Structure 1
């Protein structure tokens, strides 16, 4: 996994719980804790940090990953504002993840093994997103989607339709985005 992911986690943890909490997680996980954004690190290190956070917070793996995704979006927006330029709403941002964000990530961080999302709109207008990754971090993907929705001020109903953790060949999500105009009228 690219070091930038560890950097995002460190920043999200520091903002939410203070920088000393990151040191506690490093000690509890037994990882080195020295991550450069361009570096490549074993997936086991992120899993060890997640396990340490699970123990410290009495949360399960999916809850920790989801929290991370939600809290990483504001950090991403500050560090990489160009990723958010041109997206009019949360749905547009999510739909561009493969062609805009992950394409840029691969340019900035050669060798990055980004997940791939196959997306289409179903008859109801929901965005159907298939998550393709050997890492089985669908909860992180959910957190990123929810974080993007919050960033753009556009609520999303996220439904996990299929999951590799339940024996399915891939994870699939249905995302129902609230229209921006309806949200603005209700305010």
Structure 2
């Protein structure tokens, strides 16, 4: 997994808890206190250990933690890839274009990095399905990112995100739809 994700995980833990919690999390995970370098790729196992230990420390499930972290990632991801975004995009448009823009760039810049493959099927102007495919089994992170995108585009009150399969599989189907706002 790319070092940027670990750097953002560190910041997430420090923001939600504190620096000593990050240090304790590293120690409990059997990792060193050295900072992860955003220019390198690290074994996925490091993320599994960190999230598993964080679940033990917080009492939250790994799925809940992945979703919360996914939401947290969005502003940074949008900043990093702002040159690839179109100003008229909405949440659904962004999701429809993620594979061909951001993921394509990540793959071209970092051959050893492997973001999940997202097969997005737009079934109407207000609905799409995301078929997440990754041996990492981090569909919950994708669900969190979708929720974070809805917040980013100020559509959190009208975008519904519904995993239709287990979020822990190599293949996860996520239904995303825009509903009428409750007023």
- Match in the other structure for 2:55: 54
Deviations 1:83-130 (A, max 9, x none): 545352211112111011111222333321110111112368421110
Deviations 1:43-96 (A, max 9, x none): 110001001210111011101111110111123234443354535221111211
The RMSD of aligned alpha carbons is 2.3
8 Å CA contact 1:126, 1:176 repeated in 2: yes
Runs of 5+ unmatched residues, structure 1: none
- Match in the other structure for 1:4: 4
- TM-score where L is the length of structure 2: 0.86
Mean CA deviation greater in 125-134 or 18-27: 18-27
Cα distance in 2 for residues equivalent to 1:9 and 1:40: 14
Mean CA deviation greater in 89-98 or 53-62: 89-98
8 Å CA contact 1:38, 1:109 repeated in 2: no
- Larger helix proportion of the pair: 1
Equivalent pairs counted in the alignment come to 180
Q: Describe the shift of the 1:84–1:95 C-alpha distance in structure 2 as closer, same or farther (beyond 3 A).
A: same
Q: Describe the shift of the 1:80–1:165 C-alpha distance in structure 2 as closer, same or farther (beyond 3 A).
A: closer
Cα distance in 2 for residues equivalent to 1:114 and 1:146: 18
- Match in the other structure for 2:29: 29
Cα distance in 2 for residues equivalent to 1:70 and 1:110: 26
Runs of 5+ unmatched residues, structure 2: none
Mapping of residues 12-161 of structure 1, within 5 Å: 12-32=12-32, 33-86=34-87, 88-122=89-123, 125-155=126-156, 156-161=159-164
8 Å CA contact 2:92, 2:126 repeated in 1: no
